[in-house]
Amino acid sequence: MKDYPIYLLPDKFDIDEKIKSEILKDYKRFGDEGLPDNVEGYILEKYKIDLTAEYGPFTIKNPFGKSSGQLSCNINQVKADLEGGIGFVVLKTVIAQDESQHSNMAEWTVKAPKMVVEEIFSKKGQKGYTITWKGRGWDKSFQDYLKFMEEALSLSKSSNIPVIPSCKYHLPNPGEVYDEKEYRFTTKSLLSVWQRIMGNVPMALEQDFSPTLSGSDRNTDQQNIIDWLINVPLNVKKWCRKGEIVLGLKLMNALYDDEFQVQMLKTITSAGCDADYAITFNRLFDPNKVFEGKKGVAYGGWDLSDRNLRVLSAFRAWQYESGTVKKDFSLSATGNINSGRLMVEYGLRGCCNGQIHTYFQLPQKNYRARAGTRVQKALHELYFNPVNGLILTMEWLRDKKGIHSENGLIRWQDIYTFYKKQNIFKFF
Ligand SMILES: Cc1cc2nc3c(=O)[nH]c(=O)nc-3n(C[C@H](O)[C@H](O)[C@H](O)COP(=O)(O)O)c2cc1C
């Protein structure tokens, strides 16, 4: 497969010195004082930058979300994030089961308290971070998850910030049947909690195809993965009325080449797949690394974002060539989003938001802000960093690339829809 660009943006952003110094002033000020209450309103008014974004069926106030994982598995974490300025929160992945508590994927309910934040060098030699851990899905009971979800949704409703459940349904080996009882019970249970709190609002739900599938005894040959992508949505949606569930597939980075990753994207955007949106792509998997006596762990860092961006480029390039680029299918980014610049790289490939785990977990020295939670400190960098923050990057896109609407306003939405208007590989 042809090599597609990983980065479209230049190494340095040359923008007006006056604007640069305003960004620096804000960076220092909010680093000391903490972010303003309505930071999106502040950025809109001062910089004429509109951060409004989308997640699945929802409009969100900014593109930065907390991805499913260890940072969204209790109500205090969710509450702090909603209060701290996050755009949306995806809850930890629960493992599907039937009414008698039987689960085909029970090996994913591993309890693993030890989690290590480590530096990691990519193949290209870039230093980043990865979280090493041998756990998997939600490790308490399914009933506990429903209770957690209900509490989290109540906070979501009062704050008007989406909170999204995540699930790992039965993924059969070739020739095995989909466990209908698990699909039915899990889907109906999640939906009933959702509707009790959210009424008629459709339930967004992520299905997690995790990297750990590659280290399990599940058959992850290419055809089987493709079969899952087609059949999981059918089996979930069988148990709800049309429109009640908006299903997002969180795609795995399988242990195959980029071409297969593109094939997954072609599959889920084809008429034969009933998924509504996708999250691209969950972490990489190292089958040889040993941690706490377990061989085979997931990892991230720059290799993850390099791969994801390369694959998304290849997919968009294929869409340009095949004339399918106008087709609507919403993508959410995940993988090493550690700056506004990187968020924009994903945005230019049509990702309308970004889901973050690792960057919300780094050692303190990585954030300038001293006050607030990790998420607030991270958001401060993501927006205001004077070298690679979102405001600086968007100012450059407006100033040097002319991306804006009639009145000079640049919207986050202008970025993630841009690929439909222009061939990004010719434009940059
Ligand atoms: C410790 C840990 C636990 C995770 N657990 C889940 C999970 O339960 N469900 C899921 O969909 N993704 C899970 N992920 C993947 C993250 O949600 C995220 O998509 C991935 O780490 C890439 O983003 P990052 O580079 O910002 O970490 C987990 C990641 C980490 C590091």
Closest by Cα among 188, 185, 190, 167 to 105? 167
| 5 within some domain | no
What was the pLDDT predicted at 327? 86
Total number of domains in the chain: 1
| This model's pTM is above 0.95 | yes
Which residues of the chain are under the pLDDT cut of 50? Answer: none
What was the pLDDT predicted at 419? 97
What was the pLDDT predicted at 132? 94
Backbone phi and psi for residue 18, each to the nearest 5 degrees, phi listed first = -65, -45
Which residues approach ligand 1 with their CB closer than 6 A? 67-70, 92-93, 115, 131, 133, 137, 166, 208, 210, 250, 282-283, 300, 304, 334-337, 355-359
**239-258: b (≥16 Cβ within 10 Å) or e:** bbeeebbbbbbbbbbbeeeb
| 2 within some domain | no
Nearest CA to ligand 1 atom 4: 69
Measured in angstroms, how far is the CA atom of residue 69 from the centroid of ligand 1? 5
Please compute, for residue 77, the number of CA atoms within 13 A of its CA located in the half-sphere on the CB side: 21
Nearest CA to ligand 1 atom 14: 69
CATH number at residue 265: 3.20.20.70
| 9 within some domain | no
> How many angstroms separate the CA atoms of 212 and 410, rounded?
40
Helices and strands, counts by H and E, the chain: 14, 16
3-state secondary structure of 215: helix
Nearest CA to ligand 1 atom 5: 69
What was the pLDDT predicted at 416? 98
416: β partners: none
53: β partners: 60
| 297 within some domain | yes
Nearest CA to ligand 1 atom 6: 69
In ligand 1, the atom with minimum distance to the C-alpha of 282 is 19
Measured in angstroms, how far is the CA atom of residue 355 from the centroid of ligand 1? 9
- How, if at all, do strands 245-250 and 203-208 pair? parallel
Measured in angstroms, how far is the CA atom of residue 250 from the centroid of ligand 1? 10
Nearest CA to ligand 1 atom 23: 335
Measured in angstroms, how far is the CA atom of residue 406 from the centroid of ligand 1? 39
| 53 within some domain | yes
Instruction: List strand residue ranges (DSSP E) for 30-162, in order.
Output: 49-50, 53-55, 58-60, 64-66, 88-95, 115-121, 127-133
pLDDT in tens, 166-224: 999 999 999 999 999 999 999 999 999 999 999 999 999 999 999 888 888 898 999 99
pLDDT in tens, 214-223: 888 898 999 9
What was the pLDDT predicted at 236? 98
What was the pLDDT predicted at 398? 97
What was the pLDDT predicted at 421? 95
| 11 within some domain | no
Sign of CA dihedral 254, 260, 266, 271: negative
What was the pLDDT predicted at 215? 83
| Structural domain range at position 375 | 17-427
What was the pLDDT predicted at 406? 81
Measured in angstroms, how far is the CA atom of residue 420 from the centroid of ligand 1? 29
| 369 within some domain | yes
For a mutational test of ligand 1's pocket, the pick from 55, 64, 68, i.e. the residue with the most ligand atoms closer than 8 A to its C-beta, is 68
* Identity of residue 306: D
| 130 within some domain | yes
